[in-house]
Amino acid sequence: MLIEIDARGLACPKPVINTKKELDKLENGVIRVTVDNTMAKENIIKLSKSSNCESSVLREEEDLIVVEIIKGENVKIEEDTKVDLDNKCIFISSDKMGQGNDELGEVLIKGYIYTLTETKPYPKHIVFVNSGVRLTTVNEATVENLKILESNGVEVLSCGTCLDYYNLKESLQVGTVTNMYNIVEVMNNSLQTISI
């Protein structure tokens, strides 16, 4: 069975949501999703992986990208190599920690992320939204420590809408771009979400 979805022109996270709805209904078969931007393509591929499906890019032009997802019994599933991770999500919505003095807040958030590298088990996910995306882009101290966490299996996710808002999409240095659908899914599937 082949299902085709045209998600061009849809704002994030609609391409992923529309694809997930069809993927959930499909027992075995192929879904071809047409999108018009790289972020939507990456989010569709992540959805495919998290749903234990295979995916490939069939066509990629400036405003026309076609992703094929294969769902079925003979799909090869990548084994999860992440070890010693606690099923919790750290949700960071600012590039500062706490209220009051901004300079102190910047020192505290750097110290917090450094301390995460020294404390095990690591969280399974760290999600960055709003000005928190500066910590995965322009803040060299936090980027360095987040790379240590990522190399140990922690999934570092930055909100794509937030990166666009702050004009930082091209500055992402660690982790991957995500969307609100995936953020909600990560938080819902975590045993605990800690907001910073």
The pLDDT tens digits for 163-187 are: 999 999 999 999 999 999 999 999 9
Q: How far is the first Cα of the chain from the last one, in angstroms, to the nearest whole number?
A: 45
d(CA 3, CA 27): 12
Q: What is the pLDDT of residue 12?
A: 76
Task: From residue 82, give the alpha-carbon distance in Å to each of 24, 124, 179.
Answer: 26, 9, 22
Q: What is the pTM of this model?
A: 0.69
Q: What is the largest CA-CA distance in the chain?
A: 58
Amino acid at 102: D
- Residues 168, 138 contacting (CB under 8 angstroms): yes
pLDDT band at residue 80, thresholds of 50, 70 and 90? Answer: very low
